[in-house]
Each structure stands twice: as structure tokens, then as C-alpha cells.
Structure 1
Amino acid sequence: MESDVVLQLATLGHPQRLAIFRLLMRRTPDTLSAGEIASALHIKPSTLSSYLGALTQTGLVTQRRKGTSLLYGVKLDGVQRMIDTLFLDCCRGRPDLCLSLTSSRFDGGPTMPDRKFNVLFICTGNSARSIFAESILRKEAGDRFEAFSAGTRPSSELHPFAFSVLKDKGHDVSALRAKNINEFRGTDAPEFDFVFTVCDQAANEECPAWTGQPISAHWGMPDPVKAEGTEAQKSLAFQQAYGALRHRMLAFTALPLETLDRISLQKAVDRIAGLPADT
């Protein structure tokens, strides 16, 4: 067992192999093709194949075939065994030494305090999907949540179709604008309880950790901005994105936050990512 952990740590000690592992962790429970990993991290396919082989061999990454593609994801039980071994060996199983180092405001007692919860939705352009999510949460449960959205590379304005959908659904659009994620990283920024990415590209980007250890998940979906065809077909793509996000938001607001511990809450928001659209 100790030799397995030594090999795992040595494998993760390489910067690019660690970057692959971190990317797959951010996208969990999703699995990614080698092509998407290579594109996100700018690694040559031949080099990536070697790195993925090493991570798979150590039991930290899984590989499965889907059609002609190989898909990769984090092997959570392998990661758990590595952490358990470190805990039992290095910390001698003493929670007062190790667990205190990873404590958070979600540990012990009720998961959530009795106040409004700050939720941030992140996309690349902040012109459609993340704006939809912010607006829907504010309308459906504004008494329980403060909703925000931002883009890693925001557009200069909201997409006209997104603006039209929100107006037609009765949302207040007067204060909506595309915002950069950096607006929420200063000392005066709110501390978030939840951070969700709603596009794959934003989830693939390596971003600094958020203060306060918020619950995070990836709720990715197709980008309606990239829809092709007639104006009616493009409009339909935005309607479908809105419907899918509203379906997820209703499931999220129905969670009994005050009774779930951090692990249960993380599993719950991960499950929401797999909900089918209900438009």
C-alpha cells in the first residue's frame, strides 16, 4: 500500500500530470476525451497519451471507451485510498492533527447558517447561460439566495436572444450586464457559498481557489450562442438552455441545505448536473 502511494505522489509530482489530474477533478463527475484534455491544457497528443497512461496505471484515473473515443475521469476510490493511507501513516490516524487542517465552515452541525447564501455562476462570455442562471435563481428563490454571474472572458454585452428570452419570461433585465470574474475576487467581494460553472470551457480553465471553500460543481450545457440555422432555430436553442437551467435551479432550491453535511451536499449538486432538460 505504501509503495502505491509513493508511486501516486511521484506521478502527481510532475507539473503537467498534476494539471491533468486537477482538470479531471474540476470536471468530476464528467469524463473527458483525450482531445478535450489536450486542447484545454495545450499538451501534444503523444505526450498526453504517456501522461494519461501513467495516471491510469497508478489507479488515480479511469479510462473507458465510448464509440471510437477513450474517455478519462478521476477514479475517486483510488484517490480516497491514497488520502486514507496518508492520513493513517503520516498523521497516525489522529484527526486532531490532520482533519483540522482541512476544516471548513461546512463541517460540524448544520451545513448552512441561517442567512442568504451567495451563489456565483461562471461561464466564458457571461452573455447567456450564466446570466440565465443568475436571473432564474434570483426570481425563483431571491429570498434565500444572492445570485451573481461572471465570465472568464466576458462579452461586451448580453446576447440579444438571451435578453429577449429573459424579458419574455418576466425577468427584470434593467441591471443585467456582462461582468468579469475578477470583479468578485477583491477584498470587498462577497464570500460565496456555491460556485457553479455552466460551460465546459470555463470549467477547464485553471482558476485560483475561492476563499471560504464554497461548494462547487460543473453544470455544463451546450452554448446557445453557437447555434446555427434560421432565426427561429437559434431562438429555440436559447429557450432550451433557459429551460434546462431552470430545471436545475428548481432542483437546487429544493435541497434541504440546513440538514445536509458537506459531502451529502456535494453529491446532491453533482447529481443536478445530470438532470435532463425540462423545457
Structure 2
Amino acid sequence: MLPFPTISATVFGAVYLFGLIGCVNESPPEPAQTVTERLIPLLADAQPDTRRTAALSLGKIGDPQSIPALVLSLSDPDDQVRQSSAWALGTMADSLSEQSQVTLVQRLTDQSDSVQQAVVLALGRIAVQKELLQVLAEAYAISSIDTQRAIIQTLSHFEFSFSFSLYLQALESPDSLTRQAAIAGLGELGDSRGLPVLRTHLLQDTSEGVRSEAAFRLGKLGTSADVPALKQAMETDPTPNVHFWASWALSQIGQET
């Protein structure tokens, strides 16, 4: 982080931000561009509270010139600063460049749950879902396996319809945990298009965890059309865990063995 502000800059920032949130000021308000230009350097302040307040204030102003600085703040060492920066970027979602959106997607891997949630909410404010899906696919494609896994695991907790095709892409991953998260995500979506995919991975995936997840999700979503695959899994799968979940799924569908 840049060793930016001196004490005078920090004091100025605190006073100025206080003015933003309600201090009576008889002089005419400054243009948003001027305010933004004064706030941006405070994102590099030594004090986390100042950085966080600057990010929140920039989000309230919504001037797109602050986007590059807020994107950089997604890597701030302080959780609340990263969360506030993600929220601020969400308020300007329609002005984000594709590269900014990709960086935002990659922060789905953040170690903080609150930051992940702020990123998801910010992404959800991008108006054109087709464009968002393209960005998600691009970010996924250029990421390491660990990052890909984290992206899919995070998305699987949210019912975003645009995630469907990304889950299909993730099911091609050599990483079994990524595939298992994709199966879970398909289950959360509740989209009937996912049922054949679940059946295929129940019977053919090399990972016990993926097959077990597929059986569980079929128990939640499946119909009588899924019974043959579940019975086959019970008869041929070599692992007790898959047997258990396939049996459970059959009982949920109403087909006791």
C-alpha cells in the first residue's frame, strides 16, 4: 500500500467526510468530481477507518472516475475496506469495464464471507446478465484451479440463473471439489435442465464426493425418470456413501427399495 497521507491529509479527510454525512455547511456544495478527486487518495490512508469511509462515500457519490481506485482497494488488507469497496463498485455496476468486472468476480475467493457477499450483491446489480455471464466465464477460464474452485463454491450458495452454463463448464474440471460444487450449484438452481447432468455424474464421475452429491441433489429435485439411475447406482457403485444417498433419494422420490 502506498504511504500516502500525511497527518494533515488524514485530518482533512476526516473533516471532509464528516461534512458529507450531515455537517451544516453554508458554502455551496462542491461538484461531485471535485469531491471524488479528494476522496480517492484517502483509499490509501494509513487508517483503515478512513479508507473504509472513503470507499463508502465514493459509492454514495457514484462518480465512475473512482472505479480504478476502488478496484485496487479490493485487495486492501482490511476486510471492511474490501467489503465497502465491493459495495461501492456495485453502485456503479453499469459503468464497470469488463476488466473491472473480472477483478470483482475473482474476489469471490476472498477469505471473508462479508466480502464475498458484497461482491455477489455487486455482481447482481450488473444489468445485462448475458454480459455478466461472459465476464464470469472469462474470469473462471483465466483463474487457477484453486480460484476456479472458490468461484464455483461461492456461486453455489446463490440462486443466479446465469450460473447454469458456468456450472456445466466447471463440471469439466479435473478438480473433484470444483465438480462437486458445480453439482451443488445445479441443485440449488432447481432447474430441470440439470437433472440429466446429475444422473450422468451419479453414474460416471470418478469422484465419490461428486457421485454422492449428485444422488443427494436428485433426492431433492428428482422425479420418477431419475429412479433407474438411482437404482443402478445402488447396484453398481462400489462405495457405501453413494449407496446411502441413492437409497435416501429413492425414498424421497417415493420409490422404496
TM-score normalised by the chain length of structure 2: 0.26
Q: Which has the larger radius of gyration?
A: 2
User: Hey, which of these two has a bigger chunk of strand by percent?
Assistant: 1
TM-score normalised by the chain length of structure 1: 0.24
User: Which structure is higher in RCO with an 8 Å CA cutoff and minimum separation 6?
Assistant: 1
